[in-house]
Amino acid sequence: MNSNKQNPSAGAAFQTIIACVREFHERFGIRNAPALEADLPRETVELRYRLMAEETEEYLEAALAGDAVEIADALGDQLYILCGTILSHGMSHLIEDVFMEIQASNMSKLGADGKPIYREDGKVMKGEQYFKPRIAEILRERRVNAGKA
């Protein structure tokens, strides 16, 4: 699965972001897993979760206040923390492929008429053509033990 079928430069840009966060982790003594690790120490999992939740809350406050600067800050921090979590799980080498598979799955939600199906709150619903993302297949293709993932 080619992670950058639609925009080849997107992968390079994303890997640059990952490299910046990797450098931060190295400088501050935060572990970057060399390969896929689903079973992180509980403290690490809880910290990553708290960091993501904190920035999500900051985004909500900024968005409700209509504060573009704070929205950008919260979104940038969310991306930074997400990349750190990707590195903590050793997924930097495969996350683009996972994302593109999710993209294909999301696009398969269109109805048979090619139009989106919405729930009353605006959530996009699954159409007849929907397929579940084949993430385990991606992990197997990358010679990762999907049973541990």
Q: Give the total number of structural domains in the chain.
A: 2
In a domain, 76, yes or no: yes
In a domain, 1, yes or no: no
What does the alpha-carbon distance between residue 63 and residue 44 come to, in Å, rounded to a whole number?
29
Closest by alpha carbon to 98, among 34, 142, 53, 37?
Answer: 142
Residues 111 and 125 in one domain: yes
11 is in which domain, residue-wise?
7-93
What does the alpha-carbon distance between residue 109 and residue 127 come to, in Å, rounded to a whole number?
5
Closest by alpha carbon to 91, among 148, 13, 53, 10?
Answer: 148
Contact between residue 22 and residue 87 where contact means Cβ atoms under 8 Å apart: yes
Cα 83 vs. chain centroid, distance in angstroms? 8
What does the alpha-carbon distance between residue 91 and residue 22 come to, in Å, rounded to a whole number?
12
The pLDDT of residue 148 is above 60: no
Residues 60 and 76 in one domain: yes
In a domain, 2, yes or no: no
Contact between residue 93 and residue 37 where contact means Cβ atoms under 8 Å apart: no
Residues 30 and 83 in one domain: yes
Query: pTM of this prediction?
Result: 0.85
Residues 55 and 128 in one domain: no
Closest by alpha carbon to 73, among 88, 57, 85?
Answer: 57
Residues 101 and 139 in one domain: yes
What is the tens place of the pLDDT at every residue in 88-109?
A: 999 999 999 999 999 999 999 9
Residues 25 and 67 in one domain: yes
What is the tens place of the pLDDT at every residue in 41-57?
A: 999 999 999 999 999 99
Say what the pLDDT of residue 143 is. 64
